[in-house]
Each structure stands twice: as structure tokens, then as C-alpha cells.
Amino acid sequence: MIVEQAVAVPMADGTVLRADLWRPADDRPVPAIVMRTPYLRHSHAFTAFLDPLDAGTRGYAVVIQDVRGRGDSEGSFEPFVAEARDGAETIAWVAAQPWCDGRVVMTGMSYVGATQWLAATEAGEALRGIAPIVSSADYGEGWSLRNGVREHGFLSTWTAVSLGTYGRLWNDEPARAYDDRDGLVEIAPWSAPWWDDATPASYWEERSAAPRRERVRVPALQVGGWYDAFVEGTLRTFAAGSHPHDRLVVGPWGHQHTLPRIVGEHDLGWAGDGENSRLPRTVLRWFDAILEGREPRLPRATIYVLGARRWVSLDAWPPPGARTVAATVEGEATLRYDPADPTPFRGGHGLLMEVPDHGFGPRDQRRLLARDDVAALPLGAAAAGPLTLAGPVAARLQVSADGDGPRDWVATLCVEAADGELWNLTEGIARVSPDAAEVEVPMGQTCVELGAGERLVLLVAAAATPRFSAPATPATQRVLGGGVELTVAEI
């Protein structure tokens, strides 16, 4: 392999972006894999989904670029804003180089997935496919928002330790970000709309690829994780696609570069480990197929079944034949919320950057049950194992509340194991008026096999801090009944 560092890639406005280039030593023109990152290109050379040495052996060049205003690249950085144009111009430049045969694909995780979706909305014919890992095309709902509520813990710590001005990041005190909004705006002036609840939906629509999905004419291999913060966006983006070569892989993972099988407090199975799942080979084989113009051998959807520790190959997601089952909430509950001691969240799809335990994954929820603002409600017989869930989950609750200002209803679907452990599968939030008599809480999607002796339990809480900002006033909230809609399948 030949490795060239800090290669200049000129943009049409005169800005020079810098990239590292890995290419086969024989100088023959080959297709190129492009990754564009705000996190310093040197840290992205070897990942759980791409090894430039393997890619070179298979006949690819690899280009890893710092986006505008990051690393060695010139210009000013504002998340999402320049990625469509800069990405398209970078693809055109790469395709025109003598070491490239004119064909380009892209990969990368998280924000590096966002740079792919945005570039694909403007790229020319040189771009042949993208492979976003734990990412999505929408940077509002499913990324920065959950059911319209700001993902405060994620956005604040992400800004504080990764996106702010170099030399002024809060890497030694990321938790400071939860409450210091003025400080965040000081190190990242463009972030002011992120902390304003009045920011309109159009702000995120203008920065997202999802509203321009029809401009994306290339196939996408999307890889998600059942405990990844962006998995709902991944699944929604996959559902919106129509290319015959689109593929979906969802493993047991959270939001980690190595995609390990140990997530939260659980070992979710060696079969699901990022290394053991051979994801880099899967990505390269999918690239081979689309560049050769043939049908990828990868199934339409390759899904990891939690609990069963196995992969299944499906023709669609949710699985063909999946059906909705209503499980009744048995009993009532009273929650007493105190803003001086707001309800903490444990695991799930939260994401706290550079904070111990990262805030995601399956975790025993029993330690929350001693609180006055959390209740565990059993579900009816329809929610007992043996049972396989495979698709969306939603709670519909009859409620009442007093107090001033909006109230939060946080619902978490949990598995109560035979030994009493209460571990979380998926969750959601609804922020509604205290006058609301009924609340619907979309809880995302999951895929899990429950064994005999296991059953589902609904955890209801009055807040989830620091993931979401805490309600400012005390209240008494009551769950008076309701149910949970489960998607079940035989897979």
C-alpha cells in the first residue's frame, strides 16, 4: 500500500480540505472508499467496519478526509451545513484522480454516516453506494429529538467534548454541559438553536438528508444497533428507501466504534460481537456487488435477536407476517415528582459522550423502583414468554397530573427475567400538558426472544435526566390504566 497524508482537496469556493490516502502500490486505477469526519481523520483508519489494508488487498483506495473547519481542513465548521456540497465536490475530485477508476463509495459511523447521506443528495454519477454505520438521514427526530423532546444529554456532551472549538473543549468535565448552556454557546456559537425549545422543525429539516431522500439514487447498506441512540432513524431511513440493492443489518450494539457484544451490563452474545460478525467483510462484499452491478448476496435484512443470541435473515423489516398484539397494563400507579431530585435514566438509547458507561444499553432497572417517581406495571398474559418481539412498541396510557407546565411521561419496556432482574429493551418519552387524560408514548423498535418464565413489564417515570431536561415544577402524576402495543413474529 502507498499512504499519502494531508492530501489537498480543493473546493469550488477555494477552501482546501485535507485527506489521507491509502491506495494499492501498483498504480492501477481502482474504485475509492471515501470517509469524511469531523473527529480527526487519523483516528478513523482502522475500525470495526473498515480496514484500509484489507480494502487495498481487495482492490480499493481509501480516502479519509477532515470535513470543513476540522483537523487540518480550512474553513469554518457548523454541523451538517456544508456536508452535502463539500461531500459532492470531494467525490468528484476523487473520481477524477489517476489512481481512481471513476467509481466511489462511502462508509463510516455516526456523523460520518451523516456526511454520506448529505453528500448523496448532491453527488453525481461517480457515487455508486453508501454504507452508513449507526447513523441515519434525519438529524432532527431520531437524532437530536425523541418524539419532539430534545436529546439534551447527548447534544450537550457531544458539543462539549467533540464539536466545539479546538483547545476549548470540556473533555475533563463533560457533565458540566448538562447545565451550562451559555458556556456551550461560547465554545460553539452555532449551537444556540439546539438549546432553544422554540427552534422550529424546519431548522433540522434544512440540515437533514431525509427531506431530500428522493435525490439519493444510490443504494445504501445501513448498519444499526438495538441499543444505538440512532437506531430509530436507521430503521425509518431504511423503510423510506426503494433501491433493490438497499440492505439492513441490525446487531446488538450500542454507539461504540468497536461494536462490542458487551453493552451496558449485559454480554449480548459472541455471535453479535462486531469482530465475530465479520462486518468489514460484509461491507466490502456489498461494495463489490454494487460496483459490479449485481444483486448483493446479503439478505434484505439481517437482524440479531436479543435473548436468543442468533442472527436471522429476513425479506423485510418488520418481518413478513409480523402482527400487532395488545397487552393490557394491569394496575395503577402514582408518581410524585420533585424537581430537586429529578428521575435519573438508566441505559436504553441514551448517549452521553465521554461520560462513564456512555448512558446506553441494557441495565437492571430495579434500583429505580425505590423512588416515588417511578413505577413498574405488569402487563397481561399476552406479554409473557415464550414470545418473540420484532418491530415497533408503543404505550397508550390513561393519565392525570397536577402541577404547572408540561409533564413528562417516560415509558420503558422491560424484561423481567426468571431471577427477578428487570432489564430494559426500548423506551420513549411524551411531553404533554398536565391536562392530558391520555398519552401515547412511541417506544421505538426491538427484536427479542422471551423464554418461558420471562415476562414484559412497563416501567413508567416522570422524567429521565440528564438525557432529557427535567420538568421545572413538582407534580403528582397518575397512571390509571392503558396498554402496550407489541409487534410479534415467528422468526
Which stretches of the chain score pLDDT less than 70?
Answer: none
Residue 400: closest CA among 483, 334, 338, 328: 334
Tens-digit pLDDT profile for residues 308-362: 999 999 999 999 999 999 999 999 999 999 999 999 999 999 999 999 888 899 9
Q: How is residue 80 annotated by DSSP?
A: T
Q: What is the pLDDT of residue 357?
A: 80
**Which amino acid appears at position 100 of this protein?**
C
Q: What is the pLDDT of residue 229?
A: 97
Q: What is the pLDDT of residue 54?
A: 87
Q: Look up the CATH architecture of domain 323-488.
A: Sandwich (2.60)
Q: What is the pLDDT of residue 302?
A: 97
What residues contact 211, with CB distance under 8 A and at least 6 apart?
205
Q: What is the pLDDT of residue 407?
A: 97
d(CA 220, CA 380): 40
Q: What is the pLDDT of residue 358?
A: 86
Domain 2-139+208-314 has CATH 3.40.50.1820: yes
CB 332 within 8 A of CB 480: yes
Domain boundaries, given as residue ranges, for the chain: 2-139+208-314, 323-488
CB 162 within 8 A of CB 169: yes
Q: What is the pLDDT of residue 276?
A: 78
Residue 219's region, left for phi above 0, alpha for psi from -120 to 50, else beta, is beta
For residue 416, the tally of other CB atoms under 10 A from its CB is 23
Grid cell 438549546 is found at: 195
